[in-house]
Amino acid sequence: MKDINSKQYWDNRFSTDWVSAGGHEQTRFFAMIAAKAMPAWLKEQIRQEELEVCDWGCAEGQGVDELGKWIGTTSITGVDISEVAIEKARAAFPEARFKTQSVDQMEEYDIVFSSNTLEHFDRPFEVMANLAQRARRYLVVLLPFQEYVRISEHFFTFDFDNLPVSPAPGFSAVACRVVDAAKVNIDFWNGKQILVVYARLSALGDGRPHLKNLFVGDDSYEDFAQTRTRQMAEECRFRAEELSRTRSELAAVHARLENECKELADLRAKGDAIAHGLTADRDTMKTQLDQCLQKASDDREDLARAQAKALESAADLERVREQAYEYARELERIRAEAGQPAIEAERLRNALAHARERADALAQEGPQRDIALTEARNAASDLKGQLDAMMRTKTWRTRNAILKLIGR
């Protein structure tokens, strides 16, 4: 069995399903029941004397807020064993006071109030006695009454034959009210609740309550129950109208959403078509890009070969240029060599002419002159042969040089 009175259990409840289970609303409901059933003289005393009130087992603080509104006081401190609950209470009601404490850790207050907590214990009157020790003047408890079919978290049923008149030495019951909570709001409690006010007798002084305060029953609650029922009917009517308006708004919103969904579907179809087209274009562009890259690679290779060939042509041109320079020098030398035979031939011609003139002169002088003339003619013939031979040699050499130059 789970220990539902442990800190771990309630930390988990307040961290998980407390709100979704209606914990906030039920806490306010019980605080309202307690405030309405509380004797008027006690509420007046709280306001006039500014008594310090402790709400023990305050959960997430809704009871502290509700009780303060109904009674008309801000002197209420919420106490709970769960740190999770107290953190949420402080966040929700920053102006109120909250503490994380067990019964044994609590300090004293003028009034200790507890709503729907003691039924969670197997021996609730021991806890009630401990609470009474922390109350300087009053202990006020609100309990499920005559709950013979208990819910799973309740372990004790309170009735007239087991509720004590004196929960602790020096304390006595001074007021009691039984309320049929189902008549007020069956959604929050389908049964009765009992409010008991215990007083520390030494603290009553001259303001002792009369017997009329110790009223047991729920007749005096009928007017409030009827008023509350009318209020709830009016609230239900108002909420029904709000619900109708909300349904109309939701229908309009639903229609808009359907149109937007249709538009979204159309946009999605267009987007898919565009995406498909983009994919095809991308594939085409990729193919074209691959082809361009391949052509660029081929062009690069062709350019490299052309550059290599150009370099080779440049080298050949340089060699041809050097050979041309060499041929030019050779031609110049040939021309120089060719000039020398011309000079020599001119000299020989002059000598031949002189020899002829000499021969003609000798011919006029007789036989001796004939001999001399013959010798001169032989010499001239030799000179002419030499000249012809020399000219043939030079001409041959010049021809070979020119052919060589042309052939290269």
Domain range list for the chain:
7-217, 327-407
The rounded distance, in Å, linking the Cα atoms of 75 and 288 is 85
203 Cβ contact partners less than 8 Å away, ≥ 6 residues apart: 136, 137, 138
Is 141 within 8 Å of 114 (Cβ atoms)?
A: yes
pTM here? 0.55
The rounded distance, in Å, linking the Cα atoms of 243 and 248 is 9
- DSSP secondary structure letters along 145-187: ES--S--TT----B-TTTS-S-SSTTEEEEEEEEEEHHHHHTT
Q: 173: which strand partners? A: 198
The rounded distance, in Å, linking the Cα atoms of 363 and 354 is 14
pLDDT at residue 220, rounded to an integer = 47
Enter the DSSP assignment of 209: P
Six-digit token pair at 57?
């087992």
Cα–Cα distances (Å) from 64 to 21, 48, 116, 240, 324, in that order, read 19, 19, 14, 30, 120
Mind listing the pLDDT tens digit of every residue in the chain (408 residues)? 467 888 899 999 999 999 999 999 999 999 999 999 999 999 999 999 999 999 999 999 999 999 999 999 999 999 999 999 999 999 999 999 999 999 999 999 999 999 999 999 999 999 999 999 999 999 999 999 999 999 989 999 999 999 999 999 999 999 999 999 999 888 899 999 999 999 999 888 766 666 666 655 554 445 555 565 676 677 778 878 888 888 899 899 989 998 999 898 999 899 889 988 888 888 888 889 889 888 888 888 888 888 888 888 788 778 877 877 776 787 777 667 666 666 766 776 777 677 667 666 655 665 565 666 677 667 667 766 776 776 677 666 666 666 665 665
Architecture per CATH, 7-217: 3-Layer(aba) Sandwich (3.40)
pLDDT at residue 22, rounded to an integer = 92
Q: H or E element: which one contains 42? A: helix 40-49
pLDDT at residue 93, rounded to an integer = 96
pLDDT at residue 368, rounded to an integer = 64
Six-digit token pair at 136?
């300087």
